[in-house]
Amino acid sequence: MTINNKLFHKNKKMLLKQLFIDIASESFSEKTLILSAKKCKYSEGYLGRLFPEGLYDVKKFYFNEVEKEMIKNINKYDYSKIRIRDKIFNGVIVRLEILNKNKEAVKKIIASETDKPINTMKNLWKISDIIWISAGDISTDYNYYTKRLLLSWVYFSTILFWLNIKENNLTKTKLFLDRRIEEVLKFGKKSGKLKSIVNNANISNKIINLIKEFNYKKTSS
């Protein structure tokens, strides 16, 4: 990264930090982004250079930063002697610990995404893929898809639980996540195959229904 790129990146992070402060009391909107830029003494022209596509680029930048930190933190753990289910559990919690630093801002960002289910599904898939790869998954058959689809459901249902409770240390969220993972494992033992889990539980529809439910609560509040 060149000196100019480093400065550019630093200024993006500074603006993001100010935006997260501002959206605690304001909406996640272009208007708030402009307000935050002014507080950082950035002109609208420079704001356009930092984030040419406005809020879309802000979300993309933030979640890319989260993913880099997430991978870095996961790599600190010795995964050689722990179970797959514990690796998955840890991957989700590592991400939540990062998001938890800016919970109110994250809630508004997620709310701005869930009216576009396809985008939400793509993002969930990307997160699930990172967690599975970090856990050492090398599957290339049908299991590759079913593992990520199942984790998308587990992750998103956990995110919604986390967003709707007040806690600082993730204790209740960890218990909720543990129960969700256990549900999937128990169903897998009964059905014998991951393919059966997806077919019988219809996980894709479960995720879409969660997104719709979140949108309903968002518009009703």
- Confidence (pLDDT) at 2: 64
| pLDDT higher at 191 or 159 | 159
pLDDT of residue 200: 44
- CATH 1.10.357 corresponds to the domain 55-220: yes
Contact of 204 with 122, CB cutoff 8 Å? no
Most confidently predicted of 2-16, 56-70, 196-210:
56-70
Residue 190 has pLDDT above 70, yes or no: no
Q: Mapped to the 3 state alphabet, what secondary structure does the chain carry?
A: CCHHHHHHHHHHHHHHHHHHHHCCCCCCCHHHHHHHHHHCCCCHHHHHHHCCCCHHHHHHHHHHHHHHHHHHHHCCCCCCCCCHHHHHHHHHHHHHHHHHHHHHHHHHHHHHHCCCHHHHHHHHHHHHHHHHHHCCCCCCCHHHHHHHHHHHHHHHHHHHHHHCCCCCCCHHHHHHHHHHHHHHHHHHHHHCCHHHHHHHHCHHHHHHHHHHHHHHHHHHC
Q: What is the pLDDT of residue 21?
A: 95
Domain segments of the chain: what residues?
Answer: 1-52, 55-220
pTM score, two decimals? Answer: 0.87
